[in-house]
Amino acid sequence: MADPWSEIMIDAAKGVSGEYTIERDDGRIETLEVLDYIRTLLNWSECERLAIQHAHGRVLDIGCGAGRVSLYLQNLGHKVVGIDLALGAIEACKMRGVREAYLMSAAEIDFPDAIFDTIIMYGNNFGVLGSDQSIIDMLRTLYRITTPQGMILAGSADVVKTDIQEHLDYHKLNLSRNRPKGLVRMRVAYKGLVDKWIDLRLATPEEMENLAEKAGWRLERKYQDGVPYVGILVKK
């Protein structure tokens, strides 16, 4: 594997303990655990544990990583398809027993109409495409490939809930650049490999609701642990 995300996922699948970093474009560096990608249900955030109870039918796991969500739901008897942009994530999922996992971008989701009942977007993957328009376009695609009872379990971060000065300063920086407070420019590094800079859109519940409504969804409820939360989106 030649990219840090792939190496992280392969090591997670092998149970290799380690740390990777996420650098924000203001210089802030956050250190995270590789093994977070294989945490079992009891070690998930409370909002993820509560929201996952809504999963039903056939499931699409967007940004499946090393398969922590896919494998959990598969073991409950769900038919699960995982997709990820990192080749190592697909290999990691297969190593761990996920039956269906494909290399696919959230920007180019290609499945038949009305095939899924539940879409999972944990790990802030609601905003993985960065721009608001790209997110709306993705949500329209998800509307097409889900059944009338389809729903999305969308993970994001309510950035305005923070009182950490570094984050507040970053919000001001973003506003000065005509960017939303929660639009984070970041890159990941692991084992000497450094990924390209990408934009991650962290949306408040109000922003999530606004974006979702433009694509035919509504925010039915949310589960929140301070800043992190999972929104339950259903069709209008």
What pLDDT sits at residue 73? 98
The Cα 10–Cα 187 span in angstroms is: 19
What percentage of the chain carries pLDDT values higher than 90?
A: 99
Residue 2, pLDDT above cutoff 90: no
Using a 10 angstrom Cβ sphere, with 0-12 exposed, 13-18 middle and 19 or more buried, the burial of residue 210 is: middle
The Cα 221–Cα 223 span in angstroms is: 7
What's the whole-number mean pLDDT along residues 46-53?
A: 98
What's the whole-number mean pLDDT along residues 61-86?
A: 98
The Cα 19–Cα 159 span in angstroms is: 24
Q: What is the pLDDT of residues 106-136, one digit of tens each?
A: 999 999 999 999 999 999 999 999 999 999 9
The Cα 122–Cα 146 span in angstroms is: 18
The Cα 195–Cα 215 span in angstroms is: 31
Q: Give 182's pLDDT tier (boundaries 50, 70, 90).
A: very high
> What secondary structure does DSSP assign to 75-93, as a single string?
HTT--EEEEES-HHHHHHH
What's the whole-number mean pLDDT along residues 229-234?
A: 98
Q: What is the pLDDT of residues 132-175, one digit of tens each?
A: 999 999 999 999 999 999 999 999 999 999 999 999 999 999 99
Domains and CATH numbers, the chain: 43-183+201-235 (3.40.50.150)
Mean pLDDT of the chain: 97
Closest residue by Cα to residue 231 from 39, 50, 10, 34: 50
Return the H-helix or E-strand segment holding 137: helix 132-145
What's the whole-number mean pLDDT along residues 170-195?
A: 97
